Amino acid sequence: MDQSSIDGLRAHPVAERFHLIEGKHVPASDGGQMDVLSPIDGQVLTRMARGTVQDMQAAIASARAAFEDRRWAGQPPAARKKVLLKWADLIEAHALELAVLGVRDNGTEIAMALKAEPGSAAGTIRYYAEALDKIYGEIAPTPGDVLGLIHKEPVGVVGAIVPWNFPLMIGAWKLGPALAMGNSVVLKPAETASLSLMRMLDLALEAGLPPGVLNAVTGEGAVVGEAMGLSMDVDVLVFTGSGATGRRLMEYAARSNMKRVYLELGGKSPNIIFADAPDLHEAAKVAATGIFRNAGQVCVAGSRLLVEASIHDDFVADVARISEGMRVGDPLSLETAIGAINSEAQLKQNLGFVDTALAEGGEIVTGGQRILEETGGYFMAPTIVTGVRPDATLAQKEVFGPVLGVTAFDGDAEAVRIANSTVYGLAGAVWTSNLSRAHRMVRNVRTGVMHVNTYGGSDATVPLGGVGQSGNGHDKSLHALEKYINLKTAWIKL
């Protein structure tokens, strides 16, 4: 991908966005709209529909009708597969357009967005398209006078609420398996990253997905997200976002139809560096990218760096040097390593965490401040704080920004104790040449994903999900399909 084709797209005016209901772009029932600000310069990029409760109900009704008349679930698997494969192809064909639009909306550095957004979304949709005709029911080992069949049925209407950090990638994690299994879906994109995802849905229709099978309503989480959560007609709710919202979704389910709720929430993932790491400089490089890519706005970010005391000072100095060399700025430049903070509110919150860390005895090694303010955009220097006690706010609470807290440890047992001392359990890593130690750490660190001598980069074949307050259920891999099916027993007397 070359810079000139990106620059060719960066100045294009962005059309206003409306909901997608029953295959049509429709405005909010009361005509309401909201400004879409670009984090690159703080300017209004376009406007989009500010959804109402009625809009959400209309979208759910459309999805329900589409499910009941089997216009999608009733198609032969080969036909559904063809549509989803075509959708993946179209996403790839429009990759640059989707990536640039998404970056103008959410601020991720383009080099990363190209791979992590349309690239990953197309791969995910294709993975589930290819899987859908390889999922069999079961025959139970019953006595000979009965036949026990276990059918795998779609659940019905899936509600999906997604965040702003990787709208296409995370959107596809939900849409791919939900649609592959024959469900209808209503999607609620995040306020500050709706545009590229809504565009990706248009491509699904172009690929032949019947109208009504996939609907989307834009607007505020507290209005349309809540209406989805409280709906009596949504069967399963899948979510990626903050713990506070996840908690609300469980309450909504309890107060309405007890819909199943699957949550992928935050993390405070430990990146554990032992002195016997195979290559400490490589570990330092990956420690920096493992927290600072997408300006730390990554649920699995390695936001706690645990370093064996004997190498602490040299290692931290190396990570700081590397971080200072990471170019922060224009997210649409291919040279940029760290893009924008998604919103002004998020930037303020990040800076607040730095103040608290200092007040609690931490020391800033590098960064700590807003930069490039003259652009009007929201940028922050990659920030490293040392001397973070395991019980300090910076070690306990997710920042979701470019702030790395460093804690020294002595020996395996202390590393595990500190690693497991938060309410979260999403990801983590251990760097060591000792095979036994690596396996022991994988076993003992309470988390959904554990990396060894690397950080990040896993593909569609392995599950991603948290333990503790990082959530439940899994995205990616064949295990994700379980969220989108019901098991039905047929007990047949012969």
Nearer to ligand ADP, 242 or 486 (CB): 242
CA 293 vs CA 169, 320, 400, 402: distances in Å: 15, 15, 11, 8
Interatomic CA distance for residues 223 and 191, integer angstroms: 11
Nearer to ligand ADP, 81 or 174 (CB): 174
Exactly one of 22, 109, 226, 299 is catalytic; which is it?
A: 299
Q: Is 264 a catalytic residue?
A: yes
Q: Nearest approach, Cβ of 42 to ligand ADP (angstroms)?
A: 18
Nearer to ligand ADP, 58 or 161 (CB): 161
Interatomic CA distance for residues 365 and 388, integer angstroms: 12
Interatomic CA distance for residues 366 and 386, integer angstroms: 10
How many of the other CB atoms lie within 10 Å of CB of 47? Answer: 16
Helix pair angle (167-180, 95-106), 10° resolution = 120
Binding site for ligand ADP (CB under 6 A): 161-163, 188, 190-191, 221-222, 225-226, 229, 241-242, 245, 248
CA 254 to chain centre: 25
Burial 236-267 (b: 16+ CB within 10 A, else e): bbbbbbbbebbebbbebbeeeeebbbbbbbbb
* Distant-in-sequence, close-in-space partners of 138: CB < 8 Å, separation ≥ 6: 149, 150
Interatomic CA distance for residues 164 and 58, integer angstroms: 24
Interatomic CA distance for residues 273 and 309, integer angstroms: 10
Q: Is 130 a catalytic residue?
A: no
Query: Is the separation of the CB atoms in 110 and 100 below 8 Å?
Result: yes
Q: Looking at the chain, how many residues does it have? A: 494
Exactly one of 264, 360, 373, 374 is catalytic; which is it?
A: 264
Catalytic residue numbers read 264, 299
